Amino acid sequence: MSQFAINIMFVGGSFLLYIAIAIWAKAGSTSDFYVAGGGVHPITNGAAIGADWMSAASFISMAGLIAAGGYANSTFLMGWTGGYVLLAMLLAPYLRKFGKFTVPEFIGDRFYSKNARLVAVICLIVASVTYVIGQMAGAGVAFSRFLEVDSTVGLMIAAVVVFIYAVMGGMKGITYTQVAQYCVLIIAYTIPAVFISLQLTGNPLPPLGLFSTHVDSGMPILDKLNQVITDLGFNEYTADIDNKLNMVLFTLSLMIGTAGLPHVIIRFFTVPKVADARWSAGWALVFIALLYLTAPAVASMARLNLMTTIYPDGTAAEPIQYDERPNWIKEWEVTGLIQFTDKNEDGRIQLYNDSEAFAPTAEARGWNGNELVVNRDILVLANPEIANLPGWVIGLIAAGGLAAALSTAAGLLLAISSAVSHDLIKGSINPAITEKGELLAARISMAVAIVVATWLGANPPGFAAQVVALAFGIAAASLFPALMMGIFSKRVNNKGAIAGMLTGLAFTLAYIFVYKGWLFIPGTNNLADTPENWVLGISPLSIGAVGAIVNFAVAFIVSNATEEPPVEIQELVESVRYPRGAGQAQDH
């Protein structure tokens, strides 16, 4: 059977599984699955949150970025897990007690203002659309490879599939479908990693393999990797970095963004009890950690495998002939995501770092520039092929990657459409809108969001995980401070919250757009996105943390200069702090 047929079988099979579970769940008259007392255990809910949470960024893109950046990109690992600590302690239990179902609704009620709700809707839409751009970029990569088409065609196919999936309801709201998606996703991610860890280190557990001995060389695998890549002019994989300020802010931005993203928060609105909201956050992180502890092993091992594929006789010898390149390079070349140019016309693939420091070595070896450009987003998907794993493992990773991208993209589109139709139109513009009209508005906003995201996803402002990181920065700077102050301060009033959200959002967006292009339109940036141009060395990916600090500061100053919130609002804040009396959760 051809690899193409195997891929189709695995992707098709996994989708049939989700649909079957959805139908079975409905038939069991359990449409109100995660309603209070319905008995969705926090462990089950945790797995569902894990599936919602882990998107193309975590699954497809993240390990590729860690592979390229080494230690410096550990930020993704800490940032996207550490946020759950904030969620569990600062937001989830209280929002559950509050008992409303969308983030703008809480902000509107707590800050007793329609305008506050409106501003929250805008923040939510900007963050979510940015997030979808990243998902589309990732899903496009996956589709182009498995359908063996150009990456632009892959992106178009992804757009159509995501739209259909989202209109069908994304099969969301059915906890067991998400649990199934989680299982597919985690199996697909870990099985290749176990094989590769066994091959390279003899240890079947990838997180332990990462710190074990490389079987072929007898050195620790990280030492071996450092040696191979520094021979080719790259920085050491494990090297410490100088710009610690940026690393701290980037990690912080991802953490508070995690706690501010609406599609994660709403999962906690629907657990039976306040105590369960706390446990759910813990279990969610356990399930997420299974992937996040595997990812750094995948990153380093895939990078080493890639290098030994190109330099089979060691870095001192010549690299492989282009004509003898392995099959996976040929297949990825079809998508345009791997590109080869024989700059020194010797018929071999020279892969190295084109830096000034390495130039003398390269010249001495008769090299005329790096000849192989590998898109970082393909690393996880190509990983099993690079390691020569059997065809079914490659099919499995296709299914896993698409499960990750589609479930999250659909969830975000639903969040966007409900914000537009429910919070924006019904909540303020036209309260008299019919249910039919609301549904139509939801569909239209979904279609608009996906067209915009696809168009921008063709030339994304970074690799999938980087685009998603921008979305986290935006959420961190706008929504998280308002939510947290809404619970932990009785003094912050409507004017303070609105001013805080607006300045946080505007500040962060402006900084991002200056480097990434206005509205992410390619070519409209004012400054090149390079470290020399960044203010104080702070990258656009990290600015969300600064935006959040601006938001907090503005909100406190404005609130203290204006009147106290009304007594009933102070009582509302008081009541969300105590679990007793939490009403029944309702289906979202």
Partner 1 sequence: MSAGHSYDAEAYWKANLRLIFGSLIVWALVSYGFAILLRPMLAGIPIGGTDLGFWFAQQGSILTFIALIFHYAWRMNKIDEKFGVHEE
Give the residues lining the site for partner 1 (CB under 8 A). Answer: 71, 74, 77-78, 81-82, 84-85, 88-90, 93, 207, 210-213, 219-224, 226, 238, 240, 244, 247-248, 251-252, 273-275, 278-279, 281-282, 285-286, 289, 292-293, 296, 571, 574-575, 577-582
Listed residue (390, 404, 224) closest to 300, CA to CA: 224
For partner 1, which is the closer residue by CB, 206 or 457? 206
Block residue for tokens 């279609």: 447
Quote the least distance from Cβ 288 to partner 1, whole Å. 9
For partner 1, which is the closer residue by CB, 88 or 126? 88
Helix axes 151-167, 391-418, angle to 10 degrees: 60
Quote the least distance from Cβ 378 to partner 1, whole Å. 22
Quote the least distance from Cβ 21 to partner 1, whole Å. 28
Quote the least distance from Cβ 75 to partner 1, whole Å. 8
User: Which 3 state secondary structure label does DSSP give 41?
Assistant: coil
For partner 1, which is the closer residue by CB, 434 or 570? 570
First to last CA, the chain: 44
For partner 1, which is the closer residue by CB, 97 or 325? 97
The amino acid occupying position 369 is G
Quote the least distance from Cβ 201 to partner 1, whole Å. 10
Q: What is the distance between the alpha carbons of residues 57 and 59, in angstroms, rounded to a whole number?
A: 6
For partner 1, which is the closer residue by CB, 24 or 211? 211
User: Which 3 state secondary structure label does DSSP give 338?
Assistant: strand
Quote the least distance from Cβ 579 to partner 1, whole Å. 6
In sequence order, the 6+-apart residues with CB closer than 8 A to the CB of 209 are 197, 198, 200, 201, 203, 221, 297, 301
Taking CA 55 as the corner, what is the angle to CA 3 and CA 427, rounded to the nearest 5 degrees? 135
For partner 1, which is the closer residue by CB, 220 or 233? 220
Handedness of CA 200, 205, 209, 213 (dihedral sign): negative
Cβ proximity of 496 and 170 under 8 Å: no
Quote the least distance from Cβ 512 to partner 1, whole Å. 23
For partner 1, which is the closer residue by CB, 225 or 474? 225
For partner 1, which is the closer residue by CB, 222 or 419? 222
Taking CA 418 as the corner, what is the angle to CA 416 and CA 420, rounded to the nearest 5 degrees? 70
Quote the least distance from Cβ 118 to partner 1, whole Å. 28
Question: Which pairs from 97-101 meet CB under 8 Å and 24+ separation?
Answer: 97/274, 97/575, 97/576, 97/577, 97/578, 97/579, 97/581, 97/582, 98/576, 99/269, 99/582, 99/583, 99/585, 100/269, 101/266, 101/269, 101/586, 101/588
Bridge partners (DSSP) listed for residue 306? none
Burial 533-548 (b: 16+ CB within 10 A, else e): ebeebbbbbbbbbbbb
Quote the least distance from Cβ 487 to partner 1, whole Å. 11
Quote the least distance from Cβ 529 to partner 1, whole Å. 23
Q: What is the distance between the alpha carbons of residues 362 and 360, in angstroms, rounded to a whole number?
A: 5
CA 388 vs CA 17, 193, 305, 326: distances in Å: 28, 12, 10, 10
In sequence order, the 6+-apart residues with CB closer than 8 A to the CB of 33 are 25, 40, 173, 174, 175, 176, 587
For partner 1, which is the closer residue by CB, 252 or 419? 252
Structure token digits, residue 341: 């140019």
Quote the least distance from Cβ 582 to partner 1, whole Å. 6
How many CB atoms within 10 Å of residue 395?
25
SS3 string of 66-84? HHHHHHHHHHHHHHHHHHH
Q: What is the distance between the alpha carbons of residues 439 and 65, in angstroms, rounded to a whole number?
A: 39
Quote the least distance from Cβ 566 to partner 1, whole Å. 14
Cβ proximity of 475 and 191 under 8 Å: no
Quote the least distance from Cβ 84 to partner 1, whole Å. 6
For partner 1, which is the closer residue by CB, 71 or 556? 71
Cβ proximity of 433 and 426 under 8 Å: yes
For partner 1, which is the closer residue by CB, 198 or 521? 198
For partner 1, which is the closer residue by CB, 296 or 400? 296
For partner 1, which is the closer residue by CB, 254 or 456? 254
